[in-house]
Every structure is written in structure tokens, then in C-alpha cells.
Amino acid sequence: MLYFLYEHLYSPDSVFSFLRLFRYLTFRIIYAMLTAFLISLILGRPIIRWLKEKNIKDTSREEVAVIDSSKKEGTPTMGGILIVLSTLIPAVMWCNLSNRFVQIIIFSTLWFTIVGYYDDLIKVKFKNKKGLSIPQKLFAQFVFSFGLGILMISDYSPLRQTITNATLLNVPFYKYPVLDLGWFYIPFVIFVVIATSNAVNFADGLDGLAIGPTVLTILVFGVFSYVFGNMNLSQYFQFNYIKGAGELSIFCAAVIGAGVGFLWYNAYPAQLFMGDMGSMTLGGIIAVLAIMIKQEVLIVLAGMIFFIEALTVFLQMISINYAGRRLFFMAPLHHTFQKRGIAEPKVVIRFWIVALIFALIALSTLKIR
């Protein structure tokens, strides 16, 4: 919105000459992040109060049964609405809304927000701890990811005109694509979206646990987006230049600001849980960002905490179904540490440290190739 003011009102000799600031990505990145953080702080308490008045409270989290239900039971959920509002408002303000990447990431956010909303609504309104059934969730995620896959490889798609060699698979630490997936790129996109959106959901189990690694992962993809969208930087680091991808870094900054603002209320002891409306949306955002800048495999490195949490759940299911015994004391992994008597804040902080280490390693792949 503000970028349009620059396009239509800016003149070097006019009273609107200050609008030239909106031309610079770095300026808009900084203020998108600050705007998101401030909006999150301002809206946080009214949203928490409104959720309490509507009796939208969490009574089904697994960790409630692990330690002390008196500390967790009844905490407002569906805090994803705070994250989404604090992200989309600055995104609309500071991004170039005519940019295809921005349009897709905003649509993606809305799609996963709606799916997560209905999932939380069923849990809260109908007291159904499972929310949407697994087939219903997978279908919603499949429809979106299938459409995104088509957009990425179709010759008639505007994305295809911007992203060259969209079907090539890149891996961290290796300079050249390792494989051309061709039409198999569509099922690959489906897998990436479904796996990532659900992996973040698995990590949403302790106060502040999911949002910390999410902010770090988004930061990684924000840096990559900025580099790939800058012709000089992309050439320096020997990556393909992706025209317009730099606008995604502004959206990433908004997510980071919103995430830090949400953490203000989600830090132990949490006043607000993000719910599936938040975790599924954030997971979807990470997946779509990675896909659009052609760094799908980097999700494993940048979001290692999510990968580990999801892997422990998967291995636990396999072990129980085929070996008849538990591989871990509890899954996802954070519950194992908590059940063994490690205080919740300590578990969360240690997971953050691990997430930071892997985020730094992921950033190093810009140069180490």
C-alpha cells in the first residue's frame, strides 16, 4: 500500500520526495518487522480478553496431562489470529502488492489460516480433541499444494516466467542442482507442504517452543529471499537471480515481528496458545517460501527442530505398530525431556539453542557450496 504511494506520488522536487524511502527493501524490511511487533503487542491483550469472554480455551493439550493441569487448563487458544493479523497488516502496508510472490504468500497464509481455524473450532466448540480428521486436513493441504505445484511448472504461469528451471532440485552445500524432477515436482511440492505444515504443529507443545524456531527459520528464508532477489548478491553467491523474490523478505520480516510479539504472550507461563490456526499457518508459510525460492531441502536444516519432532512421532508410530513397543518415552521428543523431569522453560530454551545453531548452519550454505 505504501509502496503504491511511492509509485504514484513520488517526485524528486515535490513535497512527497521522502517517499523515495519506500523504494528501498531494507527500509521496508525494518519497518515491516517493527510494525508487526507493535501491532502484536497492541492487539494481544484485547484478543486474549475476547477469547476468554468467548470461552475459547484449550483443554486438550498433551502436556496438560504431563505436568500440572492447573497451570495450563483453560488458557485461551486460537492465538494464531494474533500472528496472522500482525503479519498480514504490515505485509499489506509495506509490500509491493502487485508482486506475484507477495500475492501467493498472502493467499497461502489465508488458506492455512482458514484450515487451522476450522480445526481449532471443532476442538473448542464440539469438544473434539482431534479437530478436523486426518483425511480432511490432508485434503485441504493437498488441494493447495497441488495448485502451487501447477503454478511452479506450468508454462502459462507467471511464476514459471520468473523462476527458471523450477523442477530442478537443489540441496544445501552443493552448487549445482542434483536432479530434474520434471512432472514429479508436483508430488514433491505436495510432500513438502504437508510435511512442513504438520511438523510445526508437532512442535507446538510447550510454551514458546514452536514460535522460537519458527522465527529463526523464517529469518533464514528471509535472508535467502533478499539475496536471490538482488541481482548483484545472487551473482556474488552464484545463485540464480529470481526477479521480485526480494519482496518476500519484507513478508518474512512481518512474520518475525509478529512472532516475537506473540512470544511476548506465549512465553512461559503462556497467556495464549497459537493453536492449529497458528502452527499450521506458520508451517505452510515456511513451505511456500522454500518452494518459491527453490530451497525446499533447506527446510530440513533451517527447521531442524521441526524435522526432529516430526521424525520422533513417525518413528514412535512405526515402533508401536510393528515392534509393539515405544522407541521414545513420549513423542514428540520435547515430552520425553519434560517427562524425565527437566523444567519446561529449560527444555524450550535448549530447543531454541539447537534451532539457532542449525539456522546459522543453514545461512552458511549461502557461501559454503
Residues making up the binding site for Mg(2+): 201, 276
Binding residues: 201, 276
Characterize 206-227 residue by residue with b for buried, 16 or more Cβ atoms within 10 angstroms of its Cβ, and e for exposed: bbbbbbbbbbbbbbbbbbbbbb
In the chain, the amino acid numbered 177 is P
Helix, strand or coil, per DSSP, at residue 179: strand
Helix, strand or coil, per DSSP, at residue 146: helix
Q: Which residues pair with 169 in a beta bridge?
A: 179
CA distance 366 to 150: 28
Beta strand spans in the chain (E): 168-169, 179-180
75 CB contacts (<8 Å, ≥6 apart)? 57, 58, 270, 271, 272, 273
What the block records as the C-alpha cell of 339 is 517427562
The Cα-based distances of 19 to 3, 33, 133, 254 in angstroms read: 8, 19, 49, 20
Site of grid cell 527500509: 27
**Rounded to 10 degrees, what is the CA torsion of 265, 268, 270, 271?**
-60
What the block records as the C-alpha cell of 168 is 530442478
Work out the angle between the directed axes of helices 80-94 and 2-9 (0-180°, nearest 10): 10
| Phi and psi torsions of 301, nearest 5° | -80, -50
